[in-house]
Amino acid sequence: MSRLLILASKLGYQARSFADAAKTLGVDVAFASDRCHRIEDPWADGAIAVRFDDPEEAARRIVQQSLVRPVDGVIALGDRPTSTAAFAARALGFAYNSPQSVENCRSKLRQREILRDAGLPVPGFFSFKLDKRVEKILPRVQFPCVIKPLRRAASQGVIRANSPEEFQAAVERIKKLLESPEVQVEREPESDRLLVERYIPGAEVSVEGLLTRGKLRILAIFDKPDPLEGPYFEETIYVAPSRLPDEAYDSVIECAEKTVAALGLSHGPVHAEFRVNDDGPWVLEAAARPIGGLCARAVRFGPQRMPLEELLVRHALGMPGTDVDREDDASGVMMIPVPKSGVLERIEGEEQARAIPGVEGVQITARLRDFIAAWPEGSSYLGFIFARGKSPAEVEAALRQAHSQLKFEIVERLPVANPVTGAVPSAQ
């Protein structure tokens, strides 16, 4: 029996989806995660406890474990585990991206520099250290601009600024996020720097691709019909196939091919974001991983409607059956947005949302009584809505109608003093 190693920071719903796909194929699954090995959870049996902030040491532990229980392929879910996956794959002799190419994606600054030097269309940018006075930075800023951390995912900490006042407020807010215990515990490099980019207007699309020894195959191009204009950039609806005109569609594919080549990516899933306007496509970001959360469920392949998770498991293990095309139907997902920060007290309307024609599923992933952070501090959604139909417009309408049925009661979290320091956190 083949055995797949899944690397994930959160052994939650996305990891479970990939594990289920593997088991459908009769594939055994092992996990490697940076969750504390002392915490008992449903995935603890046989999981390898690693630290993704030290990818070479994490890979060494994985290789040691593989001497006892060999693995035949690797998948990394999320950005942080990709470096560990690259080192482990190299040591184990698996086809995968090189550690350097993954690092080129992990650092937003490094990625911008590489793509600019390769002549690809990226917004004007510069970076600065957080200990530098904002007054010294402002002469370099062209408004409107976007300020972002160098290594956060899911648009966490990404803020648009239209004026010097907004810029200063954004910098302070992102700095507070990066200095929070939740972020500091990850020990990510470059947490003392921010990236400033010129804001690029236009429609935004997401490209889901799969690299096989350097050749990129486009699995799906999603439209994002909700305007992502800021001040924060929480994503909502993805719908495929894209409604871009043929010329623009082809230019996005060409740009994606040049992007992964410039970054040095060679094998495995790719998730990339582009803005498209009258000047053509602009590269926002490319990552050496599959689409996040449960969004992979929005894509099916071939007459058997193979899930994307299964296709990627097959690819990671070198199994046949990965050369099928995306289904003919339109499909989409809504990542249910977080209207405000607070404690989730009640959810209503799930059954009504599921009853909307075209809706295939509603899954609430946020837990009652948990604190939910809205963007820009947040990075986790309330859940996901899935729909299919004859056209992208039909799918989009079903997603919006289903979302309108849902009601979330979110109440302010009462600040509680730290028993050691006496400090009282904000309600954010």
Q: What is the mean pLDDT of residues 134-162?
A: 96
DSSP state of 326: B
For 3-99, CATH gives 3.40.50.20
pLDDT at residue 171, as a whole number: 98
Confidence grade of residue 374 (pLDDT, cut at 50, 70, 90): very high
pLDDT at residue 424, as a whole number: 53
Domain ranges in the chain?
3-99, 124-198, 329-416+423-428
pLDDT at residue 9, as a whole number: 86
User: pLDDT tens-digit profile of 65-84?
Assistant: 999 999 999 999 999 999 99
CA neighbor of 237 nearest in space, from 314, 316, 148, 334: 334
pLDDT at residue 244, as a whole number: 98
pLDDT at residue 39, as a whole number: 47
DSSP state of 266: -
Better-predicted residue by pLDDT, 428 or 190: 190
pLDDT at residue 411, as a whole number: 97
pLDDT at residue 423, as a whole number: 55
Q: Which residues pair with 344 in a beta bridge?
A: 410
Report how far apart, in Å, the C-alpha atoms of 18 and of each of 4, 92, 238 are. 10, 21, 20
pLDDT at residue 47, as a whole number: 83
Question: Residue 106: helix, strand or coil by DSSP?
Answer: helix
**How many of the other CB atoms lie within 10 Å of CB of 409?**
12
Tracing tokens 């998770």 back to the chain, one arrives at: 309
Q: What is the mean pLDDT of residues 100-121?
A: 98
Q: Which class does domain 124-198 fall in?
A: alpha beta
**Which CATH architecture does the domain made up of 329-416+423-428 adopt?**
2-Layer Sandwich (3.30)
pLDDT at residue 218, as a whole number: 98
CA dihedral sign of residues 197, 198, 204, 210? negative
Whether residue 37 is predicted with pLDDT greater than 90 in this model: the reply is no
Q: Are 21 and 29 in contact (CB under 8 A)?
A: no
Q: What span, in angstroms and rounded, lies between the C-alpha atoms of 18 and 4?
A: 10
DSSP state of 9: S
Q: What is the mean pLDDT of residues 259-267?
A: 98
Whether residue 12 is predicted with pLDDT greater than 90 in this model: the reply is no
Give 374: exposed, middle or buried? Use CB within 10 Å, 0-12, 13-18, 19+.
Answer: middle
Q: What is the mean pLDDT of residues 177-195?
A: 93
Q: What is the mean pLDDT of residues 97-104?
A: 98
Q: How far apart are the first and last CA of the chain?
A: 48
Q: What is the mean pLDDT of residues 128-139?
A: 96
| For the chain, percent of residues with pLDDT exceeding 90 | 90
Q: Considering the chain, what is the average pLDDT of its residues?
A: 94
